[in-house]
Amino acid sequence: MPDDQNPQLPLDGGTPPREGSLISINIEEEMRRSYLDYSMSVIIGRALPDARDGLKPVHRRVLYAMSEMGLEYNKKYTKCAKVVGQAMGVYHPHGDSAIYDTLVRMAQPFSLRYPLVDGQGNFGSVDGDPPAAMRYTECRMQRLAGELLADIDMETVDFVPNYDESTLEPTVLPTRIPNLIVNGSSGIAVGMATNIPPHNLTEVVNATIELVKNPKAGLIEILQHVQGPDFPTGGFLYGKSGIVNAYKTGRGRFMMRAKVATENLTKEKLAIIVTEIPYQVNKSKLIERIAELVTEKIVDDISDVRDESDRDGMRIVIELKRGAQPEIVLNQLYKHTQMQESFSMIFLAVLNGQPKEFPLDEAIRAFINHRIDVVQRRTVYLLRKAKEFEHIREGFKIAIDNLDTVIRIIRASASRADARENLYAWGKGTEIIINLGRERLASEERGLSLKQVDAILELQLYRLTQLSVDEILKELNEIREKIAEYESILASDKKLRNVIIKELEKVRDQYGDARRTQIVDESAELQLEDLIADEQVAVTVSHQGYLKRTPISIYRQQRRGGTGRTGMKTREEDFVSQLIIDSTHAYLLCFTNTGRVYWIKVYEVPDVGAAGKGKSMQSLLNLQPGENVRAILPVRDLEEEGKFIFFATRQGTVKKTPLKDFSNVMSRGIIAIAIEKDDDLISAGLTNGKQTIFLGTRDGMAIRFDEEYDPERNGIGLRPMGRNAAGNRGISLKKGDYVIGAAITDSDATRDKERDECAVKLNLTKKLTELRSNLEKAKEQLQKSREELRAAPKETESLTAAVKTSEKRRDDAEKALKEFDDKLGVSKSLILTVTENGFGKRTDVDEYRLTARGAQGVNNLKATPKVGKSASILLVNETSELVVISQWGKIIRIDTKTVRAAGRATQGVRLLNLEEDDKVAAAVIIPPDEVNGKEDEQGTLIQ
């Protein structure tokens, strides 16, 4: 062959070879280039969905074809063959079977979480039955599909020529729903694949709204709305960590399981009932597989399996042999059948012409950016149309204001073109004052435009006289309001985002539904908690809110003269305010000032070593802004009966709630007590339901009442309430006063029981009985004296004196019993009151007589300018240690037994000297330095 007939392909962009000539190229290079072209065509044009509308080209073209055919949800059904033909002939020049398969899948409620096509006829089944031929089936769009196509006629998306350039087709749909996440997608491209699970529309829209409101929000905020995938076939989803990891990276794997229950067929025969199966599992093949397992003797305890599914739902009955254990059979079925199936998520989609793996938050952001673009383009379109409408109406106004002149000009014109020219010349050369709510000269805007002239000429003459000025002005005012609205949307990012949020809320409210797939926190595999030893540890809480966990061996008691050891490295002016000894598997219930409660496992508290300062509760619990932890309670069993959480608020409200009401553990916290705007939680404690409650106020008042609810005594005590309840009045406060502290103490019955036990041990039962008898007689005499005084016509000195004498006898009897308590060794509960000026006193709880809840209480402190008002109320015993902090940062540590015991209405003694303008900021009881325990070679270990 001559050289001129075999030219080489120019590599430098030179003159291309002439037509008909042969080109010699490297086959390796050509194969590489052609395969890359082919692979990108498959990736972009066939197998992967667009990240914006969640559709592949074939789905988009089918829906657009149906829209162009007018097949809205409220129109009549049309043969699927007609839809396929329209899509294939105009937009998608591929095989009709592939297009019909796409149409069918969009109509199957077991394939799409929210079907986009409303099918009539046989569209297949979960058993794998094929659909009827397209000449038999009929279809139209679902109402939800209209949301994908909404506003498409408002220049909201780009259009490109179709394959033969006979018409235009959209490159993407202006969808109002995040369809990629809601309905998911799957497909195999060249060298890559996508497998996106469907999700619940309500959850995804709520997460989208969160991101629209707060563009800086991340995956943590999204996961507060999106629990996980929500499959159309329901079932259970295991492996929360796998779901979170998939959302974080775009790839992940989690386990799906069928939903099952057991039923008694006879007294001795059970059956396993399957009502929901994993996504994309063929029901018929599942039943066949179970039958194969029975035939092959892999599963021996199944006597029969049958399908009782009907239009009311799925029901697979697996009959068990007599004596079979359902749990064992289920485990065998999970292992050998698709009743348990894994789902491998690959969140791959096309954005800006390139395939990309998306974390969940980025996928939502891609949709939000698309919606921002769509709303902007729609608003620009509406603004242009509104201004065009305004312009025409201004022309009508000019014509009406100059009606005689306009008619004269038209009548004098020889033709329509002549009239058009004459009207335009008149408007251009005449100064026409137009009062349209804004005075201006028409000549300043060059009079009537040609568009206005054409609009006037298109009106019939008689209509000019019927068009009223008021009607024109009304239309102008309305359209100008819309123009102002459109301009404000385009000028304000916040307003534009509000438009998107409102449209999302409308979609959610109209199409949102409940979850079908239940997320199970426990993985099908071994849990983290199973790997953590169940052992006693120490958790320390610092005054400034730092938590740490340490081995219990850190707290070994030293003999006298020891140097001690650092148990917690705290920040300047910080100290350990609480020591908790409990199991690593116990819960810490953390109650905040806003009335919320957060959970954390003890093993989740960081172990930072003996000298570490720990981690702040703000970050550990993910507290909301303005939240501060007011109480931390260790609990091993959240379902324990007979246990309650007691709450007290600043404004005197009290409540108790069963502990089991807090068993639904949620990391983001839940409401523990409803708190009013001007109130906050100051205390929370664990009770057995039969204790006494003590409240102390800023102005020195105090009340003590029984916790146990007694409906026969006018409802005295506290009735258990739910978490969302606000509670009851605990104490009646005077104006400006508020509660500063609360304490839970043993009931009188408990203290009497302890007295009896001590008296038996010391052989002093007779003396105890005598003292109790004296007290009861004194109380009875006092009651009798008071009744006589109330019954007398008028108060007399003798009756008053009798009451005072009876009160003294009662007080003496109570004092004798208390002194006997010391001899018996009965433990004391003391109320420590600390004042703002640094004074303090200890008072026996028995000094505060039990009264009805809600009363004003009794005086707890003899407040004077010298001692000041109450700053803190604490429950102490003979071994308690106290730390007092002032506003200026002065700190003192005090052994509480050095604080003199005093009566109720006393001033107390000075605890620390303060500067003139300094006040006590806080007082807390701290763990003792020494802990009693069992001695070993290294010291004494806490028990």
- Determine how many CB atoms are found less than 10 A away from the CB of residue 916: 4
Quick check: helix, strand or coil at residue 925?
strand
The DSSP letter of residue 73 is T
End-to-end Cα distance, the chain = 101
Quick: pLDDT tens for 209-252.
999 999 998 898 999 999 999 999 999 998 888 899 999 999 99
pLDDT over 50 at 935, yes or no? no
10-14, 35-39, 158-162, 417-421: range with lowest mean pLDDT: 10-14
- Determine how many CB atoms are found less than 10 A away from the CB of residue 94: 14
Cβ atoms of 648 and 683 closer than 8 Å: yes
132-136, 564-568, 924-928: range with lowest mean pLDDT: 564-568
DSSP H/E element including 524: none
Topology alike, domains 259-338 and 529-746+829-926: no
- Backbone φ/ψ region at 241: left (φ over 0), alpha (ψ -120 to 50), beta: alpha
Distance, CA of 183 to CA of 852 (rounded, Å): 60
Please report which confidence band the pLDDT of residue 609 belongs to, taking 50, 70 and 90 as the band edges.
low
Q: How deeply is 772 buried, as exposed, middle or buried, from its count of CB atoms within 10 A (0-12, 13-18, 19+)?
A: middle
Nearest by Cα to 670 from 613, 742, 598, 759: 598
Rg of the chain over Cα atoms, rounded to whole angstroms, equals: 41
DSSP H/E element including 461: helix 461-466
Contacts of 384 (CB under 8 A, 6+ apart): none
Cβ atoms of 76 and 143 closer than 8 Å: no
Mean pLDDT of 52-62: 94
Cβ atoms of 279 and 232 closer than 8 Å: yes
- Residue 932 confidence (pLDDT): 38
Quick: pLDDT tens for 447-477.
788 898 888 888 776 666 666 677 888 888 9
Catalytic annotation present for 163: no
496-505, 611-620, 665-674, 905-914: range with lowest mean pLDDT: 611-620
pLDDT over 70 at 610, yes or no? no
Domain map (residue ranges) of the chain: 3-34, 48-175, 191-258+339-525, 259-338, 529-746+829-926, 751-824
Amino acid at 764: L
Cβ atoms of 743 and 875 closer than 8 Å: yes
CATH architecture of 48-175: Alpha-Beta Complex (3.90)
pLDDT over 50 at 278, yes or no? yes
The DSSP letter of residue 448 is S
Distance, CA of 49 to CA of 194 (rounded, Å): 9
Distance, CA of 686 to CA of 107 (rounded, Å): 56
Sheet holding 259-264, edge to edge: 259-264, 270-276, 316-320, 302-307
The DSSP letter of residue 661 is G
Sign of CA dihedral 368, 374, 377, 380: negative
Nearest by Cα to 538 from 605, 599, 600: 605
Torsion of CA 578, 579, 580, 581, to 10 degrees: -170
* CATH tag for 259-338 (out of 1.10.10.10, 3.40.1190.20, 3.40.640.10, 3.30.1360.40): 3.30.1360.40
Q: In terms of residues, how long is the chain?
A: 943
Task: Name the CATH superfamily for 529-746+829-926.
Answer: DNA gyrase/topoisomerase IV, subunit A, C-terminal (2.120.10.90)
Cβ atoms of 66 and 83 closer than 8 Å: yes
Amino acid at 103: L
Please report which confidence band the pLDDT of residue 3 belongs to, taking 50, 70 and 90 as the band edges.
very low
Given 35, 73, 136, 163, the catalytic residue:
136
Cβ atoms of 874 and 899 closer than 8 Å: no
Cβ atoms of 686 and 633 closer than 8 Å: yes
Cβ atoms of 581 and 618 closer than 8 Å: no
pLDDT over 50 at 633, yes or no? yes
| CB half-sphere exposure, 809, CA atoms < 13 A | 19
Contacts of 323 (CB under 8 A, 6+ apart): 268
DSSP H/E element including 875: strand 870-876
- Residue 878 confidence (pLDDT): 74
**Distances, alpha carbon 271 to alpha carbons 297, 307, 815, in Å:** 18, 13, 71
Domain 191-258+339-525 in CATH 1.10.268.10? The answer is yes
Q: What is the mean pLDDT of the chain?
A: 83
For strand 644-649 and strand 653-658, is the pairing parallel, antiparallel, or unpaired? antiparallel
Give percent above pLDDT 70 in the chain.
83
Torsion of CA 769, 771, 776, 782, to 10 degrees: 170
Nearest by Cα to 659 from 625, 680, 684: 684
User: pTM for this structure?
Assistant: 0.55
Torsion of CA 17, 23, 25, 31, to 10 degrees: 100
